[in-house]
Amino acid sequence: MKPYERTGSKNSNWKGGICYDRLRKGIYSPNHPNPNFNHIYVYEYVLIAEEMLGRYLKKDEIVHHRNGDVCDNRPENLEVITQSEHILKHTKDLHNEKWKENLKLNISNRDEKGKFRGRLQ
């Protein structure tokens, strides 16, 4: 087998097509038009939002987590908005104590180098 044929499930390091980028779960999607990282992975919440919409996200669209928890990918927690709407939401949320508490929890789950402590599900 040639080296370029050892991709995906044919690779000896294959782990089922799931990879983590910090707290965000990536799904192996080599044919997706807008991969998020490593040119072949798409964030799980993006795939869920696209399934809800029935189409791919446009370049100016972002998936916003309503409760501020990027690990909570339930459809009712996801909202597709533009980048400018996203900035406005987070500017308003800076004054919201619940959002600040979620931010503290996410930071407290990291070690001194900023890496996540523990396992994601």
Q: Residue 118 above 70 pLDDT? A: no
The pLDDT of residue 110:
60
To the question of pTM greater than 0.85 for the whole model, the response is no
Structural contact between residues 78 and 49, judged by C-beta atoms closer than 8 angstroms: yes
Q: Residue 120 above 50 pLDDT? A: no
Per-residue pLDDT tens over the stretch 43-68: 999 999 999 999 999 999 999 998 88
Q: Which amino acid is at 82?
A: T
Instruction: Look at strands 24-28 and 41-43 and give their pairing.
Output: antiparallel
Instruction: Read off the tokens for 27.
Output: 């799904």
- Please enumerate in sequence order all residues whose Cβ is within 8 A of that of 8, keeping only pairs 6 or more positions apart, or say none: 14, 17, 28, 30
For the chain, give every domain's residue range: 17-108
What percentage of the chain reaches a pLDDT higher than 90?
Answer: 28
Alpha helices in the chain (DSSP H): 44-53, 83-93, 97-108
For residues 104-121, give the mean pLDDT.
56
